[in-house]
Amino acid sequence: MKKRKLGKNLTVSEIGLGCMTIGRDYSSEAKQEAVRIIRRAYDLGVTMFDTAELYAEGRNETLAGEALKPFRDKVVIATKCGVMFEAGHVSGNASGKMIMDSRPEKIRSSIEGSLKRLQTDYIDLYYIHRVDPKVPIETVAQTMAELHREGKILNWGISEPSMETLRKAHEVFPVSAVESEYNMMWREPEQEILPTLEELGVGLVPYRPLARGFLTGASDGMYLHDAKNTRFDWKNLAANMALKNFVQDLAAEKNVSAAQISLAWLLAQKDFIVPIPGTSKMERMEENVNAANVSFTDEELKNIRELLEQIPIYGERYDPESDNGKSVRR
């Protein structure tokens, strides 16, 4: 698989693997399959693996660490700190209240936990999972610079920041990557994020590049269970099927899958974009990775963009009153 750069120093495969949903029930069978998926992804050329201390209260990091241990020095591990759920939250219940905490002492305790669970001495890419409005981003950046000097992290990033916040952070200690949702259904990053990242030399790592499975053509994607995402509520889902049908038609024309069209389209937007699709199924992972072999002509990209502009999207990616809705673009 071809490589791309995030920031100045981080080289990764052009498609990564989001590990959040892998082995989600953490049964023995699911964990074994998760390890198989991660190691198969590596065999196929994937070198970037994304997790977080928040995912299953650290168990996802433990699983990823076990799977990646045989070739740790050949891969990039990305993980995140700065968000937890309130006490009493039931693991797997996304309705729990999110608590932002990016105090230096909290970041330091988090990195020690992540290093232990991931069975590693350093993190290649360490993100602030969400911006904590109570802690100046300059303080966060300074803490990350200290961890870098200590050899505990090699690069750092921010998930879902405003561009004003990114600029402040980048001035203190250069940011390698920003995580943001970006897909054919949510193209807001094209307005300000992409131009700013290009200017600063920062990479973009789109999560949910398949819009929670909506763009895959599957009828049982996670979007059907996403009550907080108004794009998929009963009022808007039927109207938004126009986009899904459009992607499926494109896939049929090129004799590839809808997921591969969606991921290849993202790759074609900028050379500093590295999507991290996640899945708990081996065949889906292999399908996603093979999107790297799908290409478009300039004329095809121009036509796709013109047609996308004509397809309205109804609803928002987050309920504005939800914790997620309040925590992005700070």
**Residues 44/50/56/57 CA torsion (nearest 10 deg):** 140
Q: Which residues, other chains included, contact 313 with Cβ-Cβ below 8 Å and sequence gap of 6+?
A: 185, 186, 231, 240, 243
Q: What are phi and psi of 318, to 5 degrees?
A: -135, 145
* Dihedral angle sign, alpha carbons of residues 250, 255, 258, 264: negative
Token output for 157: 């990033």
Asked if 8 contacts 40 with a C-beta cutoff of 8 angstroms, the reply is no
Task: Find the catalytic residue in 42, 55, 126, 223.
Answer: 55
Alpha carbon 274 to its chain centroid, in Å, reads 9
Indicate the DSSP class of residue 215. G
Query: Is there a contact between 217 and 247 (Cβ–Cβ < 8 Å)?
Result: yes
Q: Are the C-beta atoms of 266 and 206 separated by less than 8 Å?
A: yes
| SS3 of residue 6 by DSSP | strand
Going by C-alpha positions, the residue among 160, 175, 51 that lies closest to residue 115 is 51
55 is catalytic: yes
Instruction: Evaluate whether 115 touches 66 at the Cβ level (below 8 Å).
Output: no
Lookup result for tokens 């990564």: 16
Please give the positions annotated as active site: 55
